[in-house]
């Protein structure tokens, strides 16, 4: 099961007035249920690769843990689709994690958060800047390494980069999962992200922007569009959001001072 990102299936293809039977690469969809201290916490539907990274990143983004060392025991049963986590102390109830909270974001505007986001979302202190050419180069670099997407067209891609190179890239059917895998990788390998750039294939929604803030980056690059709430959050959380990076152009929606000539 490990790293089985796609499988081949026989399909019927229509092309130029004719039907034919061909083999096609289909992205794998895999449910993973997480138990914490013997209690069911969440089920994630994901691409079955880098599962430990995804679980670690997910738990950190949800505020269950801050560091890998807080986990006393970690086991994944890939055949049955379960992850068993043991941590010290009690965690908040699942209701707390899904409870809506409306409040002041950085004292500037009323924004939408879940209860746990209040504790885990961070205002960026990044001083990193990158050039316009680097924005375009990093997007091309991520897309060039997106082999699962090229084969299946069924995953989101994300990468943590410096201004000049890609440090790690991950793909998943779920855009949040791809980001959790990056976060988990950075936690497991003690990679500081404050001076790094997040490159992403999908649209920048408020949830994606919040996830980026939890990871700790100051710049988010996307080939797609942001939402209005994501832009509001980006302004408030001091994150530079760049979208529609296609060809030789892009749009900067917040904190443009980090993007230079």
- DSSP 8-state assignment for residue 227: P
Please report, for the chain, how many H helices and E strands are present, in that order: 8, 16
- Per-residue pLDDT of 207-251, as tens digits, reads 999 999 999 999 999 999 999 999 999 999 999 999 999 999 999
Tokens of 217: 């980056």
CA distance 253 to 226: 8
Which residue among 46, 105, 106, 186 is the active-site one? 106
Decide: pTM greater than 0.95.
no
- Per-residue pLDDT of 28-68, as tens digits, reads 999 999 999 999 999 999 999 999 999 999 999 988 999 99
Chain mean pLDDT for the chain: 89
Q: Between residues 12 and 96, which one has the greater pLDDT?
A: 12
Segment (H or E) for 115: helix 115-120
Q: Between residues 154 and 180, which one has the greater pLDDT?
A: 180
- Per-residue pLDDT of 165-198, as tens digits, reads 999 999 999 999 999 999 999 999 999 999 999 9
106 catalytic, yes or no?
A: yes
Rg (CA), the chain: 19
Q: What percent of the chain has pLDDT over 70?
A: 88
* Residue 107 predicted with pLDDT over 50: no
């Amino acid at each position: 099961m490990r790293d089985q990102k796609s499988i081949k299936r026989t399909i019927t293809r229509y092309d130029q007035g004719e039907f034919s039977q061909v083999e096609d690469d289909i992205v794998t969809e895999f449910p993973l249920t997480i138990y914490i201290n013997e209690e069911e916490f969440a089920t994630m539907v994901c691409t079955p690769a880098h599962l430990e990274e995804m679980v670690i990143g997910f738990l950190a983004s949800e505020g269950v843990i801050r560091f890998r060392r807080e986990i006393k025991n970690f086991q994944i049963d890939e055949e049955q689709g379960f992850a068993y986590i043991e941590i010290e102390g009690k965690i908040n109830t699942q209701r707390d994690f899904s409870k809506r909270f409306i409040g002041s974001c950085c004292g500037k505007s009323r924004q939408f958060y879940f209860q746990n986001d209040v504790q885990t979302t961070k205002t960026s202190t990044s001083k990193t800047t990158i050039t316009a050419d680097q924005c375009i180069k990093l997007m091309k670099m991520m897309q060039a390494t997106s082999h699962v997407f090229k084969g299946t067209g069924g995953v989101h891609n994300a990468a943590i980069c410096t201004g000049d190179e890609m440090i790690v890239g991950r793909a998943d059917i779920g855009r949040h999962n791809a980001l959790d895998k990056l976060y988990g990788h950075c936690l497991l390998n003690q990679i500081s992200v404050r001076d790094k750039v997040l490159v992403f294939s999908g649209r920048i929604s408020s949830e994606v922007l919040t996830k980026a803030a939890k990871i700790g980056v100051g710049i988010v690059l996307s080939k797609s569009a942001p939402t209005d709430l994501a832009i509001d959050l980006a302004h408030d959380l001091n994150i530079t959001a760049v979208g529609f990076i296609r060809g030789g152009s892009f749009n900067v929606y917040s904190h443009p001072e980090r993007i230079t000539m």
